[in-house]
Amino acid sequence: MNLTICPMTEADLDAVLAIETVSYPLPWSRTHFLDELGSPHAFPLVALDQDGKLVGYICPMLVIDEGHILNVSVDPARRGKGIGRLLVEKVLAECRDGGAEFVSLEVRPSNVDAIALYKGMGFVETGRRKRYYENGEDALLMEYIFDGEAGFDAI
C-alpha cells in the first residue's frame, strides 16, 4: 500500500468531515477539528493514497508523558486494508519519540474490529467509562504502554 501520512491542515477538513460524518453517530464539527489544529498538544494526521486522496485521519495529543488518541477513522470503502493500523503506528512512534510513557484511547465495546486492531498492536484494556457515548454505551479504556522497545514497526 502506497500511503503518505502527514499533518492535517485546514484544507483537509472537507474530506475529513466527509469521513467523520459517515463514521460516527455524533460526528465532530469543523470547529472541533479546527480546535485540534490550533492546540499546542495535538498533532492531527491524515493518510493520503497514491492519488493524493484523503483516506483516513487520526487526532492524537501528547501532554507531558501521556499520549491520547481522541479520534480516528478511515474511509468506509478503504477499511480493512491497514490504513488505521498505519495511522496508529505513526502516533505511537511520535508519542514514544516525544517522551510518552503510554498512549490511551476510548473505544466502544461494540466496535469489535477496532478492539481487535488495538489488541493486536499491544493495547490492553485498563478500564471502562460507564455510559460514555451518546447512546449510553460504555467506553473501554485501552492503553499502549512503552517498555523501552517499540512493539510495532515504527514508521
Mean pLDDT of the chain: 93
Q: What is the pLDDT of residues 135-149, one digit of tens each?
A: 899 999 999 999 855
CATH node for 4-145: 3.40.630.30
Query: Binning pLDDT at 50, 70 and 90, where does residue 126 land?
Result: very high
Gap between the Cα atoms of 90 and 147, Å rounded: 17
Gap between the Cα atoms of 140 and 28, Å rounded: 20
Q: Is the pLDDT of residue 155 over 50?
A: no
Q: What is the pLDDT of residues 78-113, one digit of tens each?
A: 999 999 999 999 999 999 999 999 999 999 999 999
pLDDT, residue 147, reads 83
Q: What is the pLDDT of residues 24-66, one digit of tens each?
A: 989 999 999 999 999 999 999 999 999 999 999 999 999 999 9
Gap between the Cα atoms of 150 and 75, Å rounded: 27
**Residue-range domain boundaries for the chain:** 4-145
* CA distance readout (Å), 37 to 81, 123, 124: 27, 26, 28
